[in-house]
Amino acid sequence: MTERTYTVVCNDEEQYALWDVDRVAPPGWHPVGFSGSRSACVAHVDRQWTDLRPRSARTSPDPGSDTGSDTATGPATGAGE
Amino acid sequence: MSVQGRVWAFPASYGQERIWLAEQSRPGSTVFAVGLVFPLPPGTDEDAATAALTAVVARHEPLRTSLRAVGGRLEQLVHPGVPVALACTDLGQVPASQAQALVHRSCQEDMAPPFDLEQAPLWRARLLLLGDGERVLTLVAHHTVCDGQSWQVLKAELSELCLARAESRPPRLARLRLQYADWAVWQREHQLTPAAAHRELDHWRARLVGLPAVTAVPTDRPRTPDVDDAGGEVFFAIPQAVADRVTGCARRWRVTEFAVLFAAWAALLARLGDDPDVAMGVPVSGRSEPDLAGLVGMFVNTVVLRVDMSADPSFEALTRQAADVALEAMEHGDVPFQQVVSALAQARGGGAEGAGGPALLPQVGFNLLQGTPLQRGYGTAREDLLLELAGRSGRLEYRTALFDDSTAREIADRFLRVLRAATLDPAVPVSRLPLVDASEQARLDVLGTSTDPDHTAAVPAGALLPDLVLARAARVPDAIAVRDGDTVVTYRDLAERGRRLAGRLTAAGVGPERLVAVLLPRSADHVVTVLGVLLAGGAHLPLDPDQPLERLASLLASSGAGVLVTRDGVPPGLAVPGVRIIDMSQDAGPAATPQAGVGPDRTPAGPSHLAYVLHTSGSTGTPKGVAIEHRSLTGYVRWFVERCALGPQDRVLAVTSPTFDACVNELFPVLVTGGTIVVAPPCHAGDPRRLADLVVEHAITLLPLVPSTLAEWVASGQLARCTSVRQVVCGGERLSGHLHRALVQQLPVPLHNIYGPTETTVGVTAFRALPTDHHAAAVPIGRPVAGARIRLLDARGGPVPVGVPGQVHVGGPPVGRGYPRHPGLTAERFVPDPFGPPGSRLYRTGDRARWLPDGHLEFLGRLDEQVKVRGVRVEPGEVETAVRSLRGVLQAAVVLREDAPGGPGLVAYLVPAAGTHEQAGWRAALARVLPRHLLPAALVPLPALPTTAAGKLDRAALPPPGEAGRSTAGAAPELPRTAVERLVAEVWEQVLGVPGIAAHDRFLDLGGHSLLAVRVVTLLSDLLDVEVPVHLVLADGGVTELAGAIEALVVADAVPPRPDAAAGARAARAVEEVGQG
């Protein structure tokens, strides 16, 4: 079976997805300019897409759900308040 | 009329033998009767017609032939004369418009009585007098003595004979230099020398290796062993423009029109069955010598044309491949089809014939008629699907046991659609040929759209779940929200404690998009915590306290959660660097803080903010977090409330671990309507009796279950006590109709079967199963709900037609955000939605399903669990259903195992009722309902089926099937006991050359086939002085079953004792004297 070629596309909410390189991307999606095998595209998105929150859901800088806690830390055990 | 003379015996031809053998396993079938209709010159009278008929009967020996099986071989007996009876029917009064239909009906009636193949003549003739002097002679003949081309011969000769008589001249008929029987002898002795036959069969063996045992085209009904030959047909016409293009393509590519049409049919079959390997039976005339052209007789042979589309060729490339394959098949087309079948069966290791006699494989056919018009069928079908074309007329014949007329009509329509598109743009790859037209696409759009009111459309602020719960609490503060053992939490308590916790969380930095890990068991605490987390605007991340500490630490660290809620401190050994701990045990309690309004009274989160993150392991094993937003969750909960008509009087039993999204069903819907959650303590999990105690004690009205758990409840008999339950919610696994029926026998209430992956918020389709329902296989998963859009797509992303399996894709508000730590995977699984609003996404579920004709979805299993056994895709669920319905079987699971006896195959694991040891009976019972290729290689009894923490079947924990052996799993083979059984076993040993036959060994499994069955029958009939029909030996039972059937014959005296046979006809050319009259 021949391996298929994909292209990476992006929408207005800055969400990424893979699409068949032979097909026109549906409305609201535009190619970002990277194409390749499935695994190559997945790896590309892993590098590029850092904030999975849709743009309209972002009211503040990334709260760190991807990069770890940014809140003041208390003691590791015991009371917190 | 009697004629003196000799009866000559000759060997039957291979073709005759094949038909005769096939008939032995279908006693009483009329599928091999052929109806021939001959127009005679107008005004022909009865005498003239009779004279003409007599003349052709005298000319052509097959019209004076009968058949006889002798010593394991088939002979044809040519009689010197046969009675020439011409029935006569006057249809003169019938209007011309109805004449054709009546002629057809007359043939059909003449076909109805089966032929006794030992009695010549093997035809029935009738003269029909129509209006205006029109005359028609119908000849209903058995296929062993004539074929399609014989019609042309007889038509010409009958016409000539009648004309000659009318013109008072001698008829001009060619001299026949040989007769059919001569050809039959020549065929065996010269056309195929053993060396040539060997070479040809080698070619076919190589060509057809790996041929699937059954065709992959989806049928309307399962293929059980009792599928018969009843047939239907649909007619259609190829538009002139399309036909012209077919001719154009053939000319341009220098191939035959046969190749073009064949390629279109093959492409359609490949797409419908989702299998690029397609093989079909195509008839060839078999009259390779010029002298054969003018003979009446059975010459037709079948060749198998097999094409492979796995490289996704263009239509043009496929046509060229078809042309090559056809040419090659013709070059090797002399070897009788039956020998090819036997060679393949041997290559497979015997037993491939099945109870239907020599497998008329493949079960799909194609016939391009040249020079003869299409004929209407007579209510029979020799194949599952046969496409016949003659000029621009088309006919699709199908087995009514498998297909509905509407499905056949759709297949014919799709053939035209494929042909039209393929000839218009032959560069299109097969995978892109359109199966669905605009109107069907519109229908699929409607099917795929939820008709429930869309609660997700605009979820206004202040209407997210935590707000709704607080609003309810304000209205019914004294109602009980949660019961957990002795703990009782009123709505007032719930609101106060939730708000207080939310205050603590807010102070700890929790807000929209902040994850809060919750390490609590199923409990009242947990309910309060979820409310508090959501009220603070945070997203709930449940952790299972039963998990190993290392895994918890890893999940916690990778999630990036900044806060952890637990009770009584963090478990020792759990490392939580940088995480703030909120300890529930330090909650001061309702009385301690008199300040009202502590904590937020509205969540700061908005509809597009995260509501929860759950981890799934999926089929790869590594857990990934799935992020779900508020709007999806709210929409689902509001749908669920409406679907179950929940109200303040409802009490739900919470049995699901908080780490599974099914927990949502037990939590929010009840809280927004003012009912009560009754928490089942984790220690009661898996104990139907204790859980039922809770149901009774607290008068539970809504019971959530997973099918594996449901099976345990059913087996325990506890459901009957649960009289307060008014509905059951089920999901997570395929629910068999059998299990559903068992449920409603104890608890006759509606069941909501909900389907949905975690990635799309709990559930996206649902089916309301009523206690009166009867589902043969599985309970459907119903219709899209909660605003979901469902699309079934093929591998190229194109929609599949109704009835054809496709991958489930989900669009709309229930689609989650993705996998927070796996952007690449998210991009791969959440793809652009070409059918939805701009920028929207579809989630590829990895599940297979198909639309049923009534618009419900049928779940077929995971894509990656698709099982192929001997090249045939099988649905283990179908086999599971059959195994579950065996007497004494409580539960069953069927999986494909590499270590099954005899190589990779299906293994059935089952839980027998106490005291049941029915293993041999089980095999026989399964053989009665399942086709051969679905019979499990082993049946493994277990005390219980292993389940995962989620309550679903744990496949990895199933034990290896072990040495199941020839007959039963584990036990030593049982030997024949009764006198008749021993006799049968002895005869089998003698004929098959296999020693040590056990009581449950089957004839076909031991290498037997139809001709050997005849030998067995001869021996048994001699020894027992009773006529044993051949089909009993070929049936799927073992020695014991055959012995039982024979004894039944003797007792019932159903068959008269064997007449004194003519023992003399042994040699190839025996001669009998036939005396007077």
Query: Three-state SS string across B222-258, please?
Result: CCCCCCCCEEEEEEEECCHHHHHHHHHHHHHHCCCHH
The mean pLDDT value for B283-287 works out to 89
Considering only CB atoms, which chain A residues are within 8 Å of B830? 15, 17
Residue B343 has pLDDT above 80, yes or no: no
Least confident span in A16-30, B365-379, B778-792, B994-1008:
B994-1008
Question: Which of B568, B840, B842, B844 would best serve as a mutation to test chain A binding (most A beta carbons within 10 A)?
Answer: B840
Q: How far apart are CA B1068 and CA B9, in angstroms?
A: 7
Residue B731 has pLDDT above 70, yes or no: yes
| Contact between B581 and A77 using a beta-carbon 8 Å cutoff | yes
DSSP codes of every residue in B580-642? EEEEGGG---TTT---TT-S-SS----TTSEEEEEEE-TTTSS-EEEEEEHHHHHHHHHHHHH
> Which residues make beta-bridge pairs with B894?
B908
Residue B355 has pLDDT above 50, yes or no: no
Greater model confidence, B789 or B621:
B789
**Chain A contact for B825, CB < 8 A?**
yes
Residue B980 has pLDDT above 80, yes or no: yes
**Chain A contact for B811, CB < 8 A?**
no
**Chain A contact for B509, CB < 8 A?**
yes
pLDDT at position A66: 37
Q: How does residue B595 score in pLDDT terms, banded at 50, 70 and 90?
A: very low
Considering only CB atoms, which chain A residues are within 8 Å of B514? 63, 65, 71
DSSP codes of every residue in B911-975? EEPTT---HHHHHHHHHHHS-GGGS-SEEEE-SS--B-TTSSB-GGGPPP-----SSSSSSPPPP
Count of A–B CB contacts within 8 Å? 152
Q: How many of the other CB atoms lie within 10 Å of CB of B483?
A: 19
| Contact between A49 and B826 using a beta-carbon 8 Å cutoff | yes
Q: How does residue B1055 score in pLDDT terms, banded at 50, 70 and 90?
A: very low
Considering only CB atoms, which chain B residues are within 8 Å of A79? 581, 583, 586
Tell which residue, B732, B741, B730, B738, has the closest CA to residue B770.
Answer: B741
Greater model confidence, B971 or B765:
B765
H or E element: which one contains B1013? helix B1010-1024
Considering only CB atoms, which chain B residues are within 8 Å of A77? 569-570, 576, 581
pLDDT at position B453: 66
Nearest to B514 among A1, A63, A78 (CB): A63
Considering only CB atoms, which chain B residues are within 8 Å of A74? 580-581
pLDDT at position B288: 81
pLDDT at position B872: 67
Count of CA atoms in the C-beta half-sphere (13 A) of B54 = 11
pLDDT at position B195: 81
Residue B686 has pLDDT above 60, yes or no: yes
Considering only CB atoms, which chain A residues are within 8 Å of B627? 52
Greater model confidence, A16 or B572:
A16
**Chain A contact for B838, CB < 8 A?**
yes
Task: Compute CA B516 distance to the chain's CA centroid, rounded to the nearest angstrom.
Answer: 46
The mean pLDDT value for B718-722 works out to 92
Strands B86-91, B123-130: pairing is parallel
The mean pLDDT value for B467-476 works out to 94
Considering only CB atoms, which chain B residues are within 8 Å of A30? none
**Token pair 């979901």: residue:** B788
pLDDT at position B616: 81
| Contact between A71 and B562 using a beta-carbon 8 Å cutoff | yes
Considering only CB atoms, which chain A residues are within 8 Å of B549? none
Residue B740 has pLDDT above 80, yes or no: yes
| Contact between A28 and B837 using a beta-carbon 8 Å cutoff | yes
Orientation of helix B405-424 relative to helix B240-253, angle to 10°: 50
Residue B985 has pLDDT above 80, yes or no: yes
Q: How many of the other CB atoms lie within 10 Å of CB of B710?
A: 25
Residue B356 has pLDDT above 50, yes or no: no
| Contact between A19 and B559 using a beta-carbon 8 Å cutoff | no
pLDDT digit string, tens, across residues B596-625 = 447 788 899 999 999 999 988 655 556 789
Considering only CB atoms, which chain A residues are within 8 Å of B841? 15, 17
Nearest to A17 among B504, B559, B831 (CB): B831
Tokens of B901: 């006896």
Torsion, CA B675, CA B680, CA B681, CA B686, rounded to 10? -160
The mean pLDDT value for B277-284 works out to 91
Tokens of B581: 């701990």
The mean pLDDT value for B67-88 works out to 89
Tell which residue, B819, B480, B161, has the closest CA to residue A17.
Answer: B819
Q: How far apart are CA B1010 and CA B520, in angstroms?
A: 67
Q: How far apart are CA B285 and CA B373, in angstroms?
A: 16
**Chain A contact for B374, CB < 8 A?**
no
Q: Are B424 and B270 in contact (CB under 8 A)?
A: no
**Chain A contact for B580, CB < 8 A?**
yes
Q: Which CATH class is domain A6-51?
A: alpha beta
| Contact between B606 and A57 using a beta-carbon 8 Å cutoff | yes
Nearest to B560 among A18, A23, A67 (CB): A67
Q: What is the mean pLDDT of chain A?
A: 76
Nearest to B513 among A65, A76, A78 (CB): A65
> Which residues make beta-bridge pairs with B135?
B40, B129
pLDDT at position B549: 84
Q: How does residue B294 score in pLDDT terms, banded at 50, 70 and 90?
A: very high
pLDDT at position B687: 86
Q: How far apart are CA B860 and CA B851, in angstroms?
A: 11
**Chain A contact for B455, CB < 8 A?**
no
The mean pLDDT value for B451-466 works out to 68
Q: How does residue B902 score in pLDDT terms, banded at 50, 70 and 90?
A: low
What is the chain A residue with the closest CA to B556? A68
Q: How far apart are CA B992 and CA B1009, in angstroms?
A: 10
Tokens of A18: 């893979």
Amino acid symbol at B123? W
The mean pLDDT value for A48-71 works out to 65
Task: Compute CA B609 distance to the chain's CA centroid, rounded to the nearest angstrom.
Answer: 43
Asked if omega into B362 is within 30° of 0 (cis), the reply is yes
**Chain A contact for B513, CB < 8 A?**
yes
H or E element: which one contains B897? strand B889-897
Tokens of B85: 């009876």
| Contact between B581 and A41 using a beta-carbon 8 Å cutoff | no
Q: Are B212 and B367 in contact (CB under 8 A)?
A: no
Environment class of residue B1050 by beta-carbon count within 10 Å: exposed (0-12), middle (13-18) or buried (19+)?
A: middle
Q: How far apart are CA B32 and CA B24, in angstroms?
A: 12
Q: Where are the domains of chain A?
A: 6-51
> Which residues make beta-bridge pairs with B482?
B489, B677
Residue B374 has pLDDT above 50, yes or no: yes
| Contact between A79 and B583 using a beta-carbon 8 Å cutoff | yes
Taking CA atoms, B698 is separated from B482, B797, B1068, in Å, by 11, 50, 86
Greater model confidence, B776 or B252:
B252
Selected residues 252-311 of chain B with any CB under 8 Å from a CB in chain A: 310-311
Q: What is the mean pLDDT of chain B?
A: 85
| Contact between A42 and B827 using a beta-carbon 8 Å cutoff | yes
Whole-number percent of chain B with pLDDT over 70: 89
Q: How many of the other CB atoms lie within 10 Å of CB of B651?
A: 20
pLDDT at position A76: 31
Q: How does residue B23 score in pLDDT terms, banded at 50, 70 and 90?
A: confident
Taking CA atoms, B848 is separated from B278, B799, B809, B844, B951, in Å, by 21, 13, 10, 10, 22
Residue B778 has pLDDT above 90, yes or no: no
**Chain A contact for B798, CB < 8 A?**
no
Q: How far apart are CA B40 and CA B56, in angstroms?
A: 14
Q: How far apart are CA B91 and CA B97, in angstroms?
A: 12
Q: How does residue B727 score in pLDDT terms, banded at 50, 70 and 90?
A: very high
Q: How far apart are CA B575 and CA A76, in angstroms?
A: 8
| Contact between A81 and B512 using a beta-carbon 8 Å cutoff | no
pLDDT digit string, tens, across residues B490-539 = 999 999 999 999 999 999 999 999 999 999 999 999 999 999 999 999 99
pLDDT at position B568: 85
Q: How does residue B910 score in pLDDT terms, banded at 50, 70 and 90?
A: confident
pLDDT at position B591: 46
Environment class of residue B1034 by beta-carbon count within 10 Å: exposed (0-12), middle (13-18) or buried (19+)?
A: buried
pLDDT at position A2: 52
Tell which residue, B233, B234, B307, has the closest CA to residue B270.
Answer: B307
Task: Compute CA B531 distance to the chain's CA centroid, rounded to the nearest angstrom.
Answer: 46
Considering only CB atoms, which chain A residues are within 8 Å of B513? 53, 57, 60, 63, 65
Q: How does residue B48 score in pLDDT terms, banded at 50, 70 and 90?
A: very high
**Chain A contact for B843, CB < 8 A?**
no
Entry field: residues in chain A = 81
| Contact between A65 and B820 using a beta-carbon 8 Å cutoff | yes
| pTM over the 0.90 mark | no
| Contact between B797 and A23 using a beta-carbon 8 Å cutoff | yes
| Contact between A46 and B841 using a beta-carbon 8 Å cutoff | no
Least confident span in B154-163, B238-247, B899-908:
B899-908
Question: Which of B428, B500, B579 would best serve as a mutation to test chain A binding (most A beta carbons within 10 A)?
Answer: B579
| Contact between B581 and A81 using a beta-carbon 8 Å cutoff | no
The mean pLDDT value for B141-147 works out to 94
Q: How far apart are CA B685 and CA B660, in angstroms?
A: 15
Whole-number percent of chain B with pLDDT over 90: 50
For B45, phi then psi, to 5°, come to -95, 180
Task: Compute CA B281 distance to the chain's CA centroid, rounded to the nearest angstrom.
Answer: 21
pLDDT digit string, tens, across residues B384-414 = 999 999 999 999 999 999 999 999 999 999 9
Residues contacting B274, CB < 8 A, separation 6+? B216, B794, B795, B804, B805, B873
Nearest to A69 among B562, B629, B838 (CB): B562
pLDDT at position B965: 35
Residue B962 has pLDDT above 80, yes or no: no
Tell which residue, B795, B851, B932, B792, has the closest CA to residue B270.
Answer: B795
Q: How far apart are CA B993 and CA B751, in angstroms?
A: 56
Nearest-CA distance B314 → chain A (Å): 14
Residue B775 has pLDDT above 70, yes or no: yes
Residue B1058 has pLDDT above 60, yes or no: no
Considering only CB atoms, which chain B residues are within 8 Å of A4? none
Taking CA atoms, B1072 is separated from B133, B684, B784, B1062, B1065, in Å, by 45, 85, 75, 9, 8
Task: Compute CA B547 distance to the chain's CA centroid, rounded to the nearest angstrom.
Answer: 40
| Contact between B817 and A8 using a beta-carbon 8 Å cutoff | no
What is the chain B residue with the closest CA to A22? B796
| Contact between A42 and B824 using a beta-carbon 8 Å cutoff | yes
DSSP B189: I
Q: Are B165 and B318 in contact (CB under 8 A)?
A: no
Q: How far apart are CA B605 and CA B601, in angstroms?
A: 12
Nearest-CA distance B627 → chain A (Å): 10
Tokens of B574: 């759990």
Q: Buried (b) or exposed (e) across B394-424, using 16+ Cβ within 10 A?
A: bbbbbbbbbbbeebbbbbbbbbbbbbbbbbe
Q: Best-predicted range by mean pLDDT among B208-212, B628-632, B1012-1016? A: B628-632
Greater model confidence, B540 or B912:
B540
The mean pLDDT value for B688-700 works out to 94
Q: How far apart are CA B113 and CA B142, in angstroms?
A: 11
Nearest-CA distance B338 → chain A (Å): 34
Environment class of residue B1059 by beta-carbon count within 10 Å: exposed (0-12), middle (13-18) or buried (19+)?
A: exposed
Tell which residue, B593, B577, B507, B584, has the closest CA to residue B545.
Answer: B584
Laid out side by side, the sheet with B624-629 consists of: B580-583, B563-566, B515-519, B539-543, B610-616, B624-629
Nearest-CA distance A78 → chain B (Å): 6
Residue B921 has pLDDT above 80, yes or no: no
Greater model confidence, B548 or B702:
B702
Least confident span in B323-327, B569-573, B821-825:
B569-573
| Contact between B818 and A52 using a beta-carbon 8 Å cutoff | yes
Tell which residue, B556, B511, B519, B514, has the closest CA to residue B536.
Answer: B511
Q: How does residue A61 score in pLDDT terms, banded at 50, 70 and 90?
A: low
